[in-house]
Copies of this chain bind each other. A is one copy, B any other.
């Protein structure tokens, strides 16, 4: 057996007050069709990264809904994980010399993990490329495989290095289904599995998103010398060129010329083994100079999930001035707090912001400054957009919608329907 990952139990009913009866009951009905189904999630790591975060919520909610869901991690040594890291980068477009030796190492570890596979499941979800060849070797060993197999790809394949995708594709082609984040991430030449799209989601009960009393928010602002009585905008993002932290400061200065008491709070998570991150942190602080209405914060100043939550809630407008973006789920995090968001029109951001309704999509510093100024000067409009944003996230980007999509896919793959509601499962590829 692979390494099983323990999770903290979660109750679907805790989400009912947030998502309402209709959505909760839809999940209950879908789950009723799947009662007792054995579901296994397999990925490469129990800690760190978005996949582990999602599984930590999804697996216990499936269990609470009446399925038997498990989460296991594959086994591997450094040689394997170095190769899968390179594979990950190559699938996103970086060049990598994919020698026969390296292919062999990857295949051998997949064979080893297939050999450790000693139970049957109704649904096996293999996450990302690392363990993608497990069904290949399971069939080789047993002459069959039980249950439905789903490959859950969390990355954008459209720029994939051909050499590596050609190597990976035959293994992926054996799956019953492949689930992508966005239709745009699917590589066109993937034939075989049924394609679904399930965008990511936020957990409204996590410390990053849970509702906070005003006193808690004010206490956190006071701790970092941010004045709650003065207007404030915030961007929560790594310091790297694609998040344009220097542009954020330039935009802030353009707006501050009109709104002199404006404050800017920039928050990032810094890792001590990331020299490029440090360079950009330093570049950002230098651009800020000695304007102490610009607050540049990170884990080094004790800022964690709860503080990020507070700064988002306290902001008059949230900025996400990305020049390039994956999905950019931080936009939904901000919208969920009722804040209008002004964000770069890139990656998954346009899926989260209905332009002019719950925020603004912008393509330049000037546009960004202009929309920020508009929202700071039209508070009623900003509040209205914020309220609309909450409902949009409730409909589309909560973890319960994510759960529902998976249950729908399971129903569809196993020929069960959810009593005429909500099919086709997930969002079928157009």
Residues on A lying within 8 angstroms of B by beta carbon are: 272, 275, 278-279, 282, 285-290, 292, 296, 300-302
Contacts and interface: CB of A to CB of B under 8 A. Distances in A.
Contacts of A278: 300-301
Contact of A275 (B282, B287, B290, B300): B300
A387 B300 CA distance: 43
Contact of A288 (B275, B279, B286): B286
Interface centre among A275, A290, A302, by most chain B C-beta atoms within 10 angstroms, is A290
Contact of A287 (B290, B300, B302): B290
A286 B293 CA distance: 12
A134 to B, nearest CB: 38
Q: How many copies of this chain are found per oligomer?
A: 2
A265 to B, nearest CB: 14
A302 B279 CA distance: 12
19 contacts: A272-B272, A272-B300, A275-B300, A275-B301, A275-B302, A278-B300, A279-B301, A282-B285, A282-B296, A285-B285, A285-B286, A286-B286, A286-B288, A286-B289, A286-B290, A286-B292, A287-B290, A289-B289, A289-B290
Nearest to A300: B278
Contacts of A286: 285-286, 288-290, 292
Contacts of A292: 286
Contacts of A287: 290
A301 to B, nearest CB: 6
Contacts of A296: 282
Q: What 5 A-B pairs have minimum CB-CB distances, sorted nearest first? A: A289-B289, A285-B285, A278-B300, A286-B290, A286-B289
